Amino acid sequence: MVNKKQRRAKIKTRIRGRVSGTAQRPRMTVFRSNKEIYVQLIDDRNSDVRPENGSVTLVSASSRGLEGQGTKVEIAAKVGEAIAQKALQAGITEVVFDRNGYLFHGRVKSLADAARKGGLKF
């Protein structure tokens, strides 16, 4: 029987086989824990900086420090707005969304919708 972690790992592997980020259109990946939510814009093809794995984080945002400012879904929306603002300042307008094996609802959807509203194109 497959448990939840194994199921998510299988989905994550399948998604990462199809999704890859570049400097012009980085991969926007989401990590969701029980308390926090994190998002990064990653360039998977930049081997100049890190030749061992080729991935470089360009911009990141998280919900750390936003505790007590609403529900987890509302905080995820704030993180989505923050990543959109940071990405636009870095000159990034288009991203490839990587939900990282999580279902596209709740906090993940709230973050994605807020990032779209903030000016990022998926």
For the stretch 44-86, pLDDT in tens is 887 565 556 668 889 999 999 998 889 999 999 999 999 999 9
Token pair recorded at residue 110:
């709230």
Number of domains in the chain: 1
Q: What is the pLDDT of residues 85-95, one digit of tens each?
A: 999 999 999 99
pLDDT of residue 47: 57
Does the residue 14 lie in any domain?
yes
- CATH code of residue 98: 3.30.420.100
Token pair recorded at residue 62:
């998280």
**Strand arrangement, sheet containing 27-32:** 56-62, 37-43, 27-32, 96-98
Residue 76: give the domain boundaries. 4-117
Does the residue 96 lie in any domain?
yes
Does the residue 122 lie in any domain?
no
The burial class, CB within 10 Å (0-12 / 13-18 / 19+), for 86 is middle
